[in-house]
Amino acid sequence: MSEILIDTSAGVMTLTLNRVAKKNAFTEAMYAQCADAMEQAAQDPAVRVLVWQGHETVFSAGNDIADFLAHPPSSRDAPVFRLLRALATFPKPLLAAVCGPAVGIGTTMLFHCDLVYAGDNAAFAMPFVNLGLCPEAGASLLVPQMLGYHRAAEALLLGEPFMAEAALEVGLANRVVPPTEANGVAQAQARKLALKPVSSLLATKRLMKQGQAAQVMAQIETEAEEFGRMLREPAAKEAFTAFMEKRRPDFSSL
């Protein structure tokens, strides 16, 4: 069974993360499949709305750490960067249904979504510092904007998770629902959007985003440079090795 399920019906493309045994952690192949799907959906008139969803117990554990070690992104055309660009520039309404852990890109991608429906078990975390890395997907710009600086510092410097109710309070989630209902609520909202005039949807989203679209892309590029450099440094190596060895990392000499 594919690790990304792609379905299009009634104008709604749904990308379902389907690697639950590994907490829907993204491999390079999964990034490539999602980037391809989003690039195609952006152009395809049969797709009017796109929905990301996971399982009612988990949205995504972020980068697959073992796969990331085996295939570190080697250029700006690497699948992970293609997906980040596709998320940041997607012209049509983008929705997400999020239950359980949403780690790393599992949370940062949501800052590019237009509507987010969270299960009451959703736990959002951006533990890049704990991995010897820095934020990606424009999170260093978008998280302080949405959460306010001090809450962003808790999320990005301490890497502390925040729960569905906090996401609702800061506006990252539109609604909190029982986990068994999150995907259905997102689908219902997507179907409502798919019935609206697409030219109005496109223009409205473009107008809401255009004020800082260039700044977001520039931040994604700057973060990617830092992230790529840090990936090769000792702190990330220690963090990744510790994860594989199921132990706490030791940054005392770094």
Residues near ligand COA (CB under 6 A): 22-23, 25, 61-66, 101, 103-104, 127, 131
49, β-bridge pairs: 12
* Shorter beta-carbon distance to ligand COA: residue 21 or 214: 21
Residue 208 beta carbon to ligand COA: minimum distance, rounded to whole angstroms: 28
Measured CA to CA, the distance from residue 244 to residue 253 in angstroms comes to 20
Q: Tell me how far CA of residue 150 lies from CA of 32, 52, 75, 209, 233, in angstroms.
A: 35, 29, 33, 24, 28
CB of 185 to ligand COA, least distance (A): 23
CB of 57 vs ligand COA, minimal distance in Å: 8
Please state the closest distance from residue 94 (CB atom) to ligand COA, in A: 21
CA 46 to chain centre: 24
Give the separation between CA 175 and CA 168, rounded to whole angstroms. Answer: 6
In this complex, which beta carbon is closest to ligand COA, that of residue 12 or of residue 124? 124
Nearer to ligand COA (CB atom), residue 63 or residue 183: 63
Kindly tell me the burial class for residue 225, based on how many C-beta atoms sit within 10 Å of its own C-beta (0-12, 13-18, 19 or more): exposed
